[in-house]
Amino acid sequence: MNPVKDSVHDYIPLDPVAAELIDTPVFQRLRHIKQLSTVRLVYPSANHTRFEHSLGVYRLTSRALDTLEVDEDRSRHARAAALLHDVGHGPYGHQTEDLIRRHTGTDHDDIEWLVTDADREVSQVLEGHDLEPERIAALVRGDGPLGDLISGELDADRMDYLVRDAHHTGVPYGTIDHGRLVRELTLRDGRLVLAEGNVPTAESLLLARGLMNAIVYRHHVSRIAGAMLERASERLLHADDEPAADVDVETFRRMADHDLLVRLREAAPDLARRLERRDLFKRAVWAERSRVPAGTSEVDRAGERAAAREIADEAGVDPEEVIVDIPPRPTLKESNATVVVDGTPQRLEDASELVSGLRGAQRANWRLGVYCPAPHRESVADAAEQVLELRPGRP
């Protein structure tokens, strides 16, 4: 098996399990799921997929396992888990995750259904190489110290995506030193930690994600398009009035991006057309934290839909043309990373004064959005201020 040439990690050699897993339909589907979903509408070069990202995570995990000197059985399971960690994503990745969760109760990192029975190809490959699908599913969920490497505060997942997203958007902030991160990981008391002298290394990971969040991942254009996509997907799954378009959630979550895009044309023709042509809704409201009452900032998707209907009603526009987008409080998962300082493992939060500053910056970047077609901006803005009980902004 030839190594795969990757634009980020150069040649990626494949072990025999990886070579077979890659050929399964479940994995090949990742070629058709973009890593950054709607971000490409802002950064047009960002067309990279979860296929190449998964290969990258496999590569970094393999290198970390070599450094950690993990035994071969555990390494083989961890490498397979690294490769498969994203196969549970629905079309457009995180953009449909909430919707799938509401229908199935499972997240993208629950892949047990995929690697055990449901898709015999994957489980057959694993079993053919004496690998246990359940252990791999557990690693993808983040169980145990090697689970930390797949899905934890210092995981190979974010090391790959930050660098890859920087390469493909052209925004340099994600360019972390993954060579050093991978080399400085160590196992200590059953936990994955960064060795002595690496507080700045850990901080760099945190800062890279913070800046990429502000400038790339949470860009308002991407958020608007993402919210429109989710709204359209909801229609596809619940299209009571257009029964022919109905799709069950098991079919939905196995779609690739292009399947969804084509199906949305029937289920939500206006939104689908707008998404394909980048003729997006605009911001009627873009409110920072201080303007939003506590009750409002904690509503769930149902609450958002209810508010949107109320705003539409108040503004006299079609309810399908108002979207309320209230993101959760920002988290800083990396702040729980463990770093050895003067011989003692510490949480990064305690070892670095930067963490609280970064938390504050993330809070400051938080915005509640209300989106609608450009012509309705003013009326929707007025209605939204009222319905969401927003406080006045700075003059």
Residues 6+ apart with CB under 8 A from 263: 236, 245, 247, 255
Distance of closest approach, residue 356 Cβ to a second copy, in angstroms: 6
Pick the closer one to a second copy by CB: 40 or 135: 40
Distance of closest approach, residue 352 Cβ to a second copy, in angstroms: 6
Distance of closest approach, residue 172 Cβ to a second copy, in angstroms: 4
Distance of closest approach, residue 244 Cβ to a second copy, in angstroms: 16
Pick the closer one to a second copy by CB: 101 or 282: 282
Pick the closer one to a second copy by CB: 150 or 275: 275
Distance of closest approach, residue 134 Cβ to a second copy, in angstroms: 26
Distance of closest approach, residue 176 Cβ to a second copy, in angstroms: 7
Residues 6+ apart with CB under 8 A from 294: none
Distance of closest approach, residue 166 Cβ to a second copy, in angstroms: 8
Pick the closer one to a second copy by CB: 239 or 361: 361
Pick the closer one to a second copy by CB: 46 or 80: 46
Please tell me the distance from the alpha carbon of residue 150 to that of residue 158, in angstroms, as a whole number: 9
Q: What's the one-letter identity of residue 345?
A: P
Long-range contacts of 44-51 (CB under 8 A, 24+ apart): 45/168, 45/169, 45/170, 46/165, 46/168, 46/169, 47/168, 48/164, 48/165, 48/167, 48/168, 50/86, 50/89, 50/93, 51/27
Pick the closer one to a second copy by CB: 141 or 164: 164
Pick the closer one to a second copy by CB: 229 or 311: 229
